[in-house]
Amino acid sequence: MRAAVTVAALALALAACGSPAGEGPVVFAAASLAEVLPRIEPRAQYSFDGSSGLVDQLAAGAPADVFASADRRTMDRAVGEGLIDGEPRMFATNHLVLVVPTGNPAAVTGFDASLDGAKLVVCAPEVPCGAAAQRLAGAHRLTLRPVSEETKVTDVLGKVESGEADAGLVYATDAAASGAVEVISVPGAEADPNTYWVAVVRGAPHPDAARAFVDRLAGEWGAQLQDLGFGPPA
């Protein structure tokens, strides 16, 4: 019942600010794109959240024209559930970094055993940034013991910025946009980035606007994304 009410409320909100003729589509996009997509295309109507949560909303009937995910696994899930029209397209990459509050009060030295005594926050495993964190931990043979697992990367960053957490794993682009954290690079992270994918949602209310958005995000807007810290498509 609660999920149904949430989707219904979202549908009403999007309908109220829906896309009139000549304006942008309704875009469901990964939280790590929240700072950049409105700058690139301010006419679209955006809903930002963890990628897996957005698929849940689409599956429950939430209206959207475009879905942009922060990894292939989540996009594949959307395809498998029949939520996507056409082939998804890769448009960017991003990698994780370790962030600590300014001054590094817990004296974290890197992606190493110094995290054992720190309050670490990461994304949940089902979220793209959480899956990336697990891959990195496996590559480093490091056991992560987070005090919390968040459903979107912006929540991880927020807990580090506020000092609620001593360290967190976030995307490099999110860290670069914050003035309240220090960044510690994670060896190997750039060699194993998350890939970002975009596609038209099946049954999109504004299919022409949706296709135009996807074409431009996977094409000419790529240079702007790279200027804002994202990597090129792998």
Whether residue 171 has pLDDT greater than 90: yes
Could you write out the three-class secondary structure of the chain? CHHHHHHHHHHHHHHHCCCCCCCCCEEEEEHHHCCCHHHHCCCCEEEEECHHHHHHHHHCCCCCCEEEECCHHHHHHHHHCCCEEEEEEEEEEECEEEEEECCCCCCCCCCCHHHHHCCEEEECCCCHHHHHHHHHHHHCCCCCCCCEEECCHHHHHHHHHCCCCCEEEEEHHHHHCCCCEEEECCCCCCCCCEEEEEEEECCCCCHHHHHHHHHHHCCCCHHHHHHCCCECCC
Class of domain 2-93+195-227: alpha beta
pLDDT in tens, 191-223: 999 999 999 999 999 999 999 999 999 999 999
Q: What is the mean pLDDT of the chain?
A: 92
Write down the domain spans for the chain.
2-93+195-227, 96-184
Average pLDDT over residues 96-120: 97
In CATH terms, the fold of domain 96-184 is D-Maltodextrin-Binding Protein; domain 2 (3.40.190)
Confidence of residue 45 (pLDDT cuts 50, 70, 90): very high
Where is average pLDDT lowest: 21-25, 70-74, 162-166, 228-232?
21-25
What pLDDT was estimated at residue 98?
98
Domains 2-93+195-227 and 96-184 share a fold: yes
What pLDDT was estimated at residue 24?
77
